[in-house]
Amino acid sequence: VLGLLVWTLIAGTEYFLHPAFGWVMFVAVFYWVLTVFFLIIYMTMTYTRIPQVPWTTVGLCFNGSAFILYLIAAIVDASSVTKELDSHNYNSWAASSFFAFVVTSCYAGNTYFSFISWRSRTLQ
């Protein structure tokens, strides 16, 4: 839900005039789609039908890459927010920057828990 907020807040503005927001949109939409994909896989327990895939490693790589790229996107988003004549863009960009950092912290926590799970699997 928070990732959805990031890209909808940016998509409602003239983000295409600022190339930095294009990067933020790419990261936000890409990881939102992948997160929904993995959510469906885990909710339907499809991962139990494909035991050849090392799901703990996949989860760690996914969450780790999401954390790193979302951190970069959040920093780019925050540094690109400028006060313009149109306050709608400013408010939306500032809110998207805040939520990008919230999503980054969520992925950081999930990366930590994925690492703990991955490490317990490799120690067995």
- Which residues constitute the domain of residue 99? 1-122
pLDDT band at 28 (very low <50, low <70, confident <90, very high): very high
- pLDDT 10s digits, 32-87: 999 999 999 999 999 889 989 999 999 999 999 999 999 999 999 899 887 765 56
Cα distance between residue 42 and residue 36, in whole Å: 10
Maximum pairwise Cα distance, the chain: 60
pLDDT band at 9 (very low <50, low <70, confident <90, very high): confident
Residue 81 · residue 94 · CB < 8 Å: yes
The yes-or-no verdict on residue 90 having pLDDT over 70 is yes
Taking the model in full, what pTM does it have?
Answer: 0.86
Quote the number of domains for the chain. 1
Phi, psi (5° rounding) for residue 85? -65, -35
Burial 11-42 (b: 16+ CB within 10 A, else e): eebebeebeebebbbebbbebbeebeebeebe
